[in-house]
Amino acid sequence: MSAQIIDGKAIAARLRAHLAAECTTFVSRAGVTPHLAAILVGDDPASAVYVKNKRQACEQVGFKSTVHHLPKTVTQHELLQLVGRLNAARDVHGILVQLPLPAPLHPTAVLDAVDPRKDVDCFHPENVGRLVQGRPRFLPCTPHGILVLLRETGIATVGTRVTVLGRSEIVGKPLALMLAQKGTDATVTLCHSRTPNVAEFTRMADLVIAAIGQPEYVTADMVRPGAVIIDVGINRVQSRLVGDVAFDSVSRVASYITPVPGGVGPMTIAMLLQNTLAAARLQTEGT
C-alpha cells in the first residue's frame, strides 16, 4: 500500500482564490478593505517567517496587512497599550499576536486583551466558550484547516474513530472538541504526554492527527493499515523539516497522509484569511 498525499498547498490555493473573489465583492459593497494587524515581538527567525507568510497571503487576496514589530525589551504594559490601540482602530478588523512571546511577557494576558470580535486566531476565552457551546464566532485556524482538508479530500468523519496526539490550546483541545460536535460526529480519543501506551490508541484509530511536537514520533507500527494520517508537526532536524510522523515508513501503511511541509501549514493561513474576512463583515455589516 502507498498512501495518497493530501496536498494542502493546492487545496489552500483554491480557497485563497475563492476568498479573493469574496473580498472583491465585499470591498465593492461595503467600501471597506479587510485589515489584519500582526504583532511580532523580538527577533525569533521562525516567527518572522510565519508573519511574513501571513502578510503575503493577505496581500494576495486583496486584504490590507500591517506588522507591528516590537523589540524583545518591550514591557507588558507597552504591549497591552498597542493591543488597546488596535482594538479601538475602526479600520483594523483582525489582530494576530504571533506566539511565542519572549519572557517575561505573559501571553495569556495579551491574548485576553484582544477584542473578541477581532480575535481571528480564536484564542480569547469568549470565543473558546462559544466554540464549546457549538455557536462559534470564529473557528481556530489549524483545527478548521484540518477539517477542511478532510472534507475537500472526501474523507468522512461521521462515526470515525479519531486519535488526536497533543492537548495544546492551539490544536489538540479545540480540534478534539470540533471533531466530536454534531455535524462532524467523530469518536475522539485525546492523547498527551501522560497517556500510557499511546500506540494502543493510534492502532485502533481510523484517523490519527499528530500535533505532539516530537519529530517523527508516529511510526509505521503505531498505525492501523489503511488509516488516514494528518501531521500537524513541523520540526527542524539538522538541515531538514520533518513532521511528527515518520513519513517514509508510515506512508507505506496509511491510505492518506499529509506531507511536511505542504500539508496542514498552508491551510492554517487560509483559515486565518477566512476569519479576517468574517471579522470585517461582522464589524462592518453585523453579519
Catalytic residues: 54, 98, 121
Instruction: Tell whether 168 is in a known binding site.
Output: yes
What b/e string do you get for 141-177 counting C-beta neighbours within 10 Å, with b at 16 or more? bbbbbbbbbbebeebebeebbbbbbbbeebbbbbbbb
Instruction: Tell whether 167 is in a known binding site.
Output: yes
Instruction: Tell whether 203 is in a known binding site.
Output: no
Nearest-5° Cα angle at 199, 198 to 201? 70
> What is the distance between the alpha carbons of residues 112 and 11, in angstroms, rounded to a whole number?
32
Cell of 167: 492537548
Instruction: Tell whether 129 is in a known binding site.
Output: no
> What is the distance between the alpha carbons of residues 22 and 257, in angstroms, rounded to a whole number?
30
As beta bridge partners, residue 19 has none
Exposed, middle or buried by CB within 10 Å (0-12, 13-18, 19+), for 279? Answer: buried
Annotated binding site for NADP(+): 166-168, 234
Annotated binding site: 166-168, 234
